[in-house]
Amino acid sequence: MKIIVTGGLGFIGSNFCRYIVNKYKQYKIYNIDSLSYAGNKDNLKDIVKMPNYYFFKINICDKKKLEEVIKKIVPDCIINFAAETHVDRSILDPQAFIKTDVIGTFNILELSRKYKVKKMIHISTDEVYGSITKGSFSETDKLDPTSPYSASKASADLLILSYIKTYNFPAIIVRPTNNYGPYQFPEKLIPLMITNAIEGKKLPVYGKGLNVRDWLYVEDTVCAIDKILHKGKLGQIYNISSKNELKNIVVVKKILKLLNVSEKQIEFVKDRLAHDLRYSVNPKKVFKLGFIPKYNFDEGIKLTVDWYKKNVWWWKKLKTKPEFKNFYKKQYK
């Protein structure tokens, strides 16, 4: 099978590429990534020389360049991970989110149609449903996004659903919950807390840290997408969760405990605008495909903390880049 993965140098995309090129040696993986601030060649250093892995530095908003590659490869499947992904950045400057998450997805849809790609898997997010006080959202629930990030992701989902209905377009939408694990850019909650704690810095926590997120270890996400790739039904939406809901403050305290750092390092800061209180989705549909999560939060967070402790070389240089430093200054001033 020939698979184009977009955004394969980011956090989840790189974990996915590594897993697939090793598990399915007969598949060919073509990674398309623009190398935005969140894309990092170090993420796939270990697989660049594999004979079934290929990389193209292309922006999915550049339809002409994207077309050249799709036309040349004519893939069996395109899996779209490429996106602007940080809610806080979307609040500071939404434009890039509209470009990549909406226009970029539109380009993939149009070119997939033109070159008759047999399957497109779009990685969406649980954030498109918005907040829920009790219970969990299922795939048929209405979308109620609250940040420019989640609104841009929801827009892409609606566009894809319209293509499924109008053109019988062969797409599948996947909505995972909050991921964590190796190779996550250190601006996101878990890697930021781990790396700040290791560096002896304050740990900025929004509000009182009461927001609930459903934490999914990245290896579980990748296995679920593998199941969906091989067993998922075209035209369907699949939530992915391993049912590990925790308040942010609980997550931060667990990290501090694993690192033996004092809770006095926590600094409560001004809350995020329109901060959704709780995300929760029902994953029974993906469980029916045979997906069984391997990691509970205590297991996953231990592996994650150990990885960041062992791989200081990976994150230290990212934290000294202007893209990280300027954002951090603006956000936590």
Ligand X SMILES: NC(=O)c1ccc[n+]([C@@H]2O[C@H](COP(=O)([O-])OP(=O)(O)OC[C@H]3O[C@@H](n4cnc5c(N)ncnc54)[C@H](O)[C@@H]3O)[C@@H](O)[C@H]2O)c1
Kindly list the residues in this chain that would bind ligand X in the complex (CB under 6 A): 6-7, 9-13, 33-36, 38-39, 59-61, 81-85, 100, 104, 123, 125, 153, 176, 178-179, 185
- Nearer CB in complex with ligand X: 138/265: 138
Our answer to whether residue 127 is catalytic in this structure is: yes
Alpha-carbon distance of 281 to 127, in angstroms, equals: 10
Taking alpha carbons only, the member of 218, 230, 229 closest to residue 294 is: 218
- Nearer CB in complex with ligand X: 13/130: 13
- Nearer CB in complex with ligand X: 84/254: 84
- In angstroms, what is the minimal distance from the CB of 9 to ligand X? 4
Catalytic position from the list 30, 53, 129, 149: 149
- Nearer CB in complex with ligand X: 185/287: 185
Catalytic position from the list 84, 127, 219, 276: 127
- In angstroms, what is the minimal distance from the CB of 262 to ligand X? 28
- In angstroms, what is the minimal distance from the CB of 239 to ligand X? 10
- Nearer CB in complex with ligand X: 137/261: 137
Taking alpha carbons only, the member of 237, 232, 228 closest to residue 142 is: 237
Catalytic position from the list 126, 157, 187, 220: 126
Gyration radius from the chain CA atoms:
19
What tokens does 38 get?
């969140």
- In angstroms, what is the minimal distance from the CB of 38 to ligand X? 3
CA angle 268, 271, 276 (to 5 degrees): 125
DSSP letter at 100?
A: I
- In angstroms, what is the minimal distance from the CB of 284 to ligand X? 18
Alpha-carbon distance of 215 to 192, in angstroms, equals: 15
In the bound complex, which residue of the shown chain has the CB atom lying closest to ligand X?
10
- Nearer CB in complex with ligand X: 147/196: 147
Q: 167: buried, middle or exposed (CB in 10 Å: 19+, 13-18, 0-12)?
A: exposed
Q: For the chain, count helices (H), then strands (E).
A: 13, 13
- In angstroms, what is the minimal distance from the CB of 236 to ligand X? 17
DSSP letter at 175?
A: E
- Three-class DSSP category at 107: helix
- Whether 36 and 73 have beta carbons less than 8 Å apart is answered as no
117 backbone φψ class: left, alpha, beta (φ>0; ψ -120 to 50):
beta
Q: Which residues are catalytic?
A: 126-127, 149
